[in-house]
A and B are shown apart, each in its own frame.
Chain A
Amino acid sequence: MRIWDLHCHLTGLPGLTPEERATHLLRYADRVGIERLCVYMGLRFLQNPTPEQLIQQNNEVLRALAAFPDRLFGFVYLSAEHIETSLAELERCVAHGPMVGVKLWVAGRCNNPLLDPLIARAAELKALVFQHTWIKTGGNYPGESTPDDLVALAQRFPSVPLICGHTGGNWRLGLRAIQHQPNLYADLAGSDPTAGITEAAVAALGPDRVLYGSDAPGRSFSSQLAKVHGADLPEPIKQKVFHTNLHRLLTPILTAKGIKT
């Protein structure tokens, strides 16, 4: 079974440098059979980074990528609060750098049309766009998107694949929200390994729109891999979730950049 992990970070690992952190991350990934990892954001979590901090965060990921070019994919961290800097970072890290995707977190909700230039440029570059989403019982952060917010964005860019990070956390509601928007994909990462999530995602979206991710190192690889290994699904569908679907989504930009996998 080939496994690519859609959703990893450098925060919360031993080591002072990006290279040391990535070394630790890969040590654990190796033990559980993960071949490639998508990494975004830097050595610490910054929910609303300044332009300078955005650049620093991306520089840290670039160092990790340079150390492990055959194991890590990088997504550039952008912010709805700093559109000009974000557009410049897209050029620096994706158009002229090794990164292959975009990460949007909680600086601003993604239904805001201010984000449109970022999505449009990312699409031109074939970069895969990942948007964090949650539906928290106790309430979201002010700038934290819901799956419904992402549906609004996806309707403005119906030909651009967009990833619904965490499937909204409360995945039963998240799946309902994104089910009928065919350019939205479910990220299984970063929630408790509640039984049934993967079966429900495949039932709602079909086997081609569900992606394994861990949110390591905040989560263990184990708890998140179990969502797929433990699902009552045929092995070929598990392979799609673990690898084939993400590989398909990344193929345009990997091909454009000449990255062989």
Chain B
Amino acid sequence: MPTRRSFLTQAAAFTAAPLLSPAASSSGITDVNLHLHRWPHHRLPHDTPTALADHLRAKGVTQAWTGSFDALLHTDLTAVNARLAADCAKTAPDLLLPIGTLNPTHPRWQDDLKRCQQTHGMKALRLYPGFHRYTLADPAFRHLLEAAITARIPLQIVSQLEDERTQHPALQTPAVDLKTLPALLKDIPEARIMVLNASATMIHTALQPSPNLWLDIAKLEGCGVVETLLQTWPIEQLAFGSNAPFFYWQAAKLKLQESALTPTQIHTLTHPTLLL
């Protein structure tokens, strides 16, 4: 039973440890869940390329997998991806890794895949099934998955961005139904998928560990939620993602502190293997 004395001892240790200071380790942090450009409904802190790059560097992030909020609603994803690639290259090519967006309901989305990979040199691509109004059971998604395998490029699926209760009434976007994903990944073992922003409930009700499926920690909630998830989910399949600048970046960082994790576990979380 903690006493005031033991609390003060622990609090002193907390104060002494640079837990919110830059760099969990000398090799820095890879953050797999970031966005540039404008959130549709309001301005966010750090929503310019320079501001976001400076913010992330100050936190010890050394690789930032960065998509574009413009991809949520803009129809011309070719232009969105080109702007993203240019802004990342111009602002912080050593830090900002551009993650282009595909929409498999668009005509000739295969051209965007080719441009992202061959013209912009993108290492992964991002999907927004909720905003783009398709499901993971749609044949279009399977076709895209197969094309990504052929191109040897992994995919990030954004399962949700904002709490349904606070979404703009004109733009309500339900969380993506992930229930069909395990069977699909079993059927197509060459696929490499990272689901972003899944809640613990979504994970427990829809997903199961698989060597070709990764998650991030941005939308996990609950006391010690990372250590709880690790009871059933391999750490090699989990990644540090912040959902910044929509969320305060520190939320993800503090989760590493609230859970009892070893330095090795923290290193694994902050250095994902999806792109290896």
Contacts and interface: CB of A to CB of B under 8 A. Distances in A.
A232 to B, nearest CB: 6
Contacts of B42: 172
A191 B163 contact: yes
Given A33-B14, A219-B222, A230 B7 contact: no
Contact of A33 (B3, B15, B163, B245): B15
B109 interface: no
Most buried by B among A26, A169, A172, A195: A195
B140 interface: no
- Give me the 7 closest cross-chain CB pairs, A-B, nearest first: A230-B248, A222-B254, A226-B251, A230-B250, A226-B250, A28-B223, A217-B223
Size category of the B interface is 35 or more
Contacts, number: 141
A194 interface: yes
Contacts of A125: none
Contacts of B134: none
A26 B6 CA distance: 11
A27 B165 contact: no
Contacts of A137: 164-169, 172
A45 interface: no
Interface stretch (A51-59, A63-71, A105-113, A246-254): A63-71
Most buried by B among A12, A193, A231: A193
Contacts of A193: 247-248, 251
A134 B165 contact: yes
A223 B2 contact: no
Given A31-B257, A194-B247, A221-B254, 11 more contacts: A30-B7, A30-B11, A31-B258, A32-B254, A32-B257, A192-B162, A195-B44, A219-B222, A222-B251, A223-B254, A229-B250
Contacts of B224: 27-28, 31, 220
Contact of B222 (A30, A169, A195, A217): A217
B59 to A, nearest CB: 10
Contact of B223 (A13, A134, A138, A192): A13
A216 B224 CA distance: 10
A70 B223 contact: no
Interface string A220-261: 111101110111100000000000000000000000000000
Contacts of B45: 195-196, 199, 232
B221 interface: yes
Contacts of A23: 1-2
Most buried by A among B165, B219, B248, B253: B248
Contacts of B167: 137
B4 A138 contact: no
B20 A229 contact: yes
A32 B248 contact: no
A158 interface: no
Given A25-B223, A138-B165, A194 B250 contact: no
Contacts of A172: 42
A198 to B, nearest CB: 9
B225 interface: yes
A171 B7 CA distance: 33
Interface string A156-191: 000000000000011010000000000000000001
A31 to B, nearest CB: 5
B2 A30 contact: yes
Contacts of A206: none
A230 B258 CA distance: 16
Contacts of B221: 218-220, 223
Interface in A108-123: none
14 contacts: A24-B223, A28-B224, A30-B2, A31-B258, A32-B254, A33-B14, A33-B15, A220-B254, A223-B251, A223-B254, A226-B248, A226-B250, A229-B254, A230-B249
Given A216-B223, A220-B220, A67 B251 contact: no
A30 to B, nearest CB: 5
